[in-house]
Amino acid sequence: MDSLNFFNLLREAERIMHAEHEANGYDDRGTCVLGAGIEVNGNVRIRQVSQGNMSAYAAAEPAIEFLREHGIPARWNDGRMD
């Protein structure tokens, strides 16, 4: 996969995550965490959309699935408690 396509997929995943967060009413449930987000290749590439870990993860799930469907091994990184 060329780098342009990789970064375009990351941007689309970020858009998906923000749209899901909006659809969830911008909720902010869970523990306040820092550094959470979607991790690709050992680095958090897409930061959390809210401080609440439960809300951030719920919004990230469709974006993670999108990346995996396109051959990018993505996972959720819980960050650390604030």
Do 35 and 78 meet the contact criterion of CB atoms below 8 Å apart?
no
Q: Quick one: tokens of 57?
A: 């993860």
Identify each DSSP E strand in the chain by its residue range.
Answer: 33-34, 37-40, 43-47, 74-77, 80-81
Do 13 and 59 meet the contact criterion of CB atoms below 8 Å apart?
no
Report d(CA 2, CA 32) in Å as an integer: 36
Whole-number pLDDT of residue 8: 96
In the predicted model, what is the mean pLDDT of residues 73-77? 96
User: What confidence tier does 81 reach under pLDDT thresholds 50, 70, 90?
Assistant: confident
Whole-number pLDDT of residue 1: 73
Helix, strand, coil % over all residues of the chain, rounded to 5:
45, 25, 30
User: What confidence tier does 71 reach under pLDDT thresholds 50, 70, 90?
Assistant: very high
